[in-house]
Amino acid sequence: MSTYNENLNWRYATKKFDATKKVSDQDIETLKEAIQLSASSYGLQPYKVLVISDPEIKEKLKPAAWNQPQITDASHIVIFANINNFGEVDIDHYIKNVSETRGLELEALQGYSDLMKNSINPLPEDSRNAWTAKQTYIALGNLLSAAADLKIDTCPMEGFDAAQLAEILGLNEKNLTPSVIATIGYRSEEDETQHYKKVRKPKDELFITL
Amino acid sequence: MSTYNENLNWRYATKKFDATKKVSDQDIETLKEAIQLSASSYGLQPYKVLVISDPEIKEKLKPAAWNQPQITDASHIVIFANINNFGEVDIDHYIKNVSETRGLELEALQGYSDLMKNSINPLPEDSRNAWTAKQTYIALGNLLSAAADLKIDTCPMEGFDAAQLAEILGLNEKNLTPSVIATIGYRSEEDETQHYKKVRKPKDELFITL
């Protein structure tokens, strides 16, 4: 098994974190860099990512996540929040970044800009939000693997009230919707689930080879 | 920069593959293993993954993917297809796997089974499909990183006609919907885009730290 896959095999959805252990600032920066480097549709990164370590804020968020203990026990909470009704203004902003990063005239990027706008403009708001939410899951998958590479534990979480979370964090005013959460930290020795055998579909059930 | 992040930095959405270079069977198995080990909601893996190297099938699929050359030039096409209207039968199947893998009585898993069913049953079909589709993006993110670890190139693709693709591959009868594609192989030396500077949102724009 490759080292990469050994890390995937090592990781599991941590149910109980050791609340005394904190992820170092340096490791947080490495994880943020991995998120930043994640692929996304057209490279648009149509989301923002909240990284929360403040104990008071974590405590406030807990009821919005069904009081799951990971929210307060984990060292950090990472909340992926997709941009609502992503559209022309966001694409123009991205094109400006492409122009500056690559030293290209805006005019040279007009075709690319039009291509994206023509693809996104016809989408109704709910499809648009579903599409931006999906992009956060690429970054989530990448974060889980990047953390495992550093032997940092994670628990991805969909069990939360997005409206309540947005309200607490003032995300509505920021035009953001919480899409998915990862709590990160170090597993508690007491977490029995770390000893459970990993359950996966066998390859012949999961894959169709043509 | 960590080796993991260096690999992410190395990768890019490959626009032109070297059609003469094939990914080895051994590497394909490693990538399949990475997909298999990907996290998913409750561990349900509500999807199947098609791995296609047959040149005739690739040729047939090309028009359904806007004739993008990656479809035929890449060594393999990986199509993530979420299970339609995922529900009780699928959960029972999963619980059976948990029971067998961990040597637990089905009765001991009744509570866990009910928890999942109670969470999924109220979802209307479109929300259910959006939820299973999102899970494929975790696996996609993981595949991109796992491939980069092996210095295998990838191009994630959302530009395709899902209905047409399903028709060609007989996925409707299998109760599957194509969600997202990754073409994998080796970059052509002629692909100019490999030299483009990577465009990413700066950290202070992408992250909110609390």
Residue type, A147: A
Chain B positions touching A36 (Cβ under 8 A) are: 200-201, 203, 206
What is the model's pLDDT at position A159?
92
Contact B4 A146 (CB under 8 A): yes
Which is nearest to B187 in space by CA: B60, B50, B17? B17
- Give the list of residues 6+ apart from residue B208 with CB closer than 8 angstroms, or none: A48, A49, A50, A51
- Distance between CA B80 and CA B137 in Å, rounded? 8
> What mean pLDDT do residues A173-194 have?
96
Candidates B4, B30, B101; nearest CB to A199: B101
Contact B208 A150 (CB under 8 A): no
Chain A positions touching B149 (Cβ under 8 A) are: 2, 4
Return the residue matching tokens 């919005």.
A64
Sheet hosting strand A47-52, strand order edge to edge = A153-157, A176-185, A76-83, A47-52, B207-209
Scan residues 24-83 of A and list those with Cβ closer than 8 Å to B: 30, 32-39, 41, 43, 45, 48-54, 57
Contact A8 B35 (CB under 8 A): no
> What mean pLDDT do residues B5-15 have?
96
Candidates A13, A98, A198; nearest CB to B199: A98
DSSP B156: E
What is the model's pLDDT at position A180?
98
Q: What is the band of B124 on the pLDDT scale with cuts at 50, 70, 90?
A: very high
Residue type, A28: I
Residues β-bridged to residue B177: B82
The 3-state secondary structure of chain A reads CCHHHHHHHHCCECCCECCCCCCCHHHHHHHHHHHHCCCCHHHCCCEEEEEECCHHHHHHHHHHHCCCCHHHHCCEEEEEEEECCCCHHHHHHHHHHHHHHHCCCHHHHHHHHHHHHHHHCCCCHHHHHHHHHHHHHHHHHHHHHHHHHCCCEEEEECCCCHHHHHHHHCCCCCCEEEEEEEEEECECCCCHHHHCCCCCCCHHHHEEEC
Q: What is the band of B90 on the pLDDT scale with cuts at 50, 70, 90?
A: very high
> What mean pLDDT do residues A111-135 have?
94
For residue A24 the two structure tokens come to 């170092």
C-alpha pair distances (Å), B12 with each of A109, B9, B28, B58: 19, 8, 19, 22
> What mean pLDDT do residues B22-41 have?
97
CB B82 within 8 A of CB B132: yes
What is the model's pLDDT at position B145?
96
Mean pLDDT estimate for chain B: 96
C-alpha distance from B156 to closest chain A C-alpha (Å): 8
Return the residue matching tokens 């941590």.
A14
The secondary structure element, H or E, covering residue B155 is strand B153-157
Contact A141 B146 (CB under 8 A): no
What is the model's pLDDT at position A45?
98
Sheet hosting strand B76-83, strand order edge to edge = A207-209, B47-52, B76-83, B176-185, B153-157
Candidates B48, B54, B134; nearest CB to A134: B134
- Determine contact: B2 vs chain A, CB below 8 A: yes
Sorted by where each starts, the structural domains of chain A and their CATH numbers stand as 3-188 (3.40.109.10)
Bridging pattern class, strands B47-52 and A207-209 = parallel
Residues β-bridged to residue B51: A209, B78
Candidates B52, B169, B207; nearest CB to A51: B207
Chain A positions touching B134 (Cβ under 8 A) are: 133-134, 137, 180
For residue A56 the two structure tokens come to 């008071």
What is the model's pLDDT at position A105?
94
Q: Which of B76, B79, B198, B210 to mutate to test the interface with A (most CBs of A within 10 A)?
A: B210
Contact A36 B130 (CB under 8 A): no
A20-53 tens-digit pLDDT: 999 999 999 999 999 999 999 999 999 999 999 9
Closest CA in chain A for residue B146 = A4
CB B25 within 8 A of CB B76: no
C-alpha pair distances (Å), B127 with each of A130, B99, B123: 10, 28, 6
Q: What is the band of A86 on the pLDDT scale with cuts at 50, 70, 90?
A: very high
- Distance between CA A50 and CA A59 in Å, rounded? 15
Measure the CA angle with vertex A100, ends A96 and A104; round to 5°.
Answer: 95
**CA B138 from centre of chain:** 7
DSSP B202: -
Scan residues 112-141 of A and list those with Cβ closer than 8 Å to B: 119, 130, 133-135, 137-141
- Distance between CA A85 and CA B130 in Å, rounded? 17
Return the residue matching tokens 């003469």.
B20
Which is nearest to B39 in space by CA: A170, A99, A143, A110? A143
Q: In this complex, how many residue pairs, one in chain A and one in chain B, have their CB atoms less than 8 Å apart?
A: 197
- Determine contact: B4 vs chain A, CB below 8 A: yes
C-alpha distance from B130 to closest chain A C-alpha (Å): 7
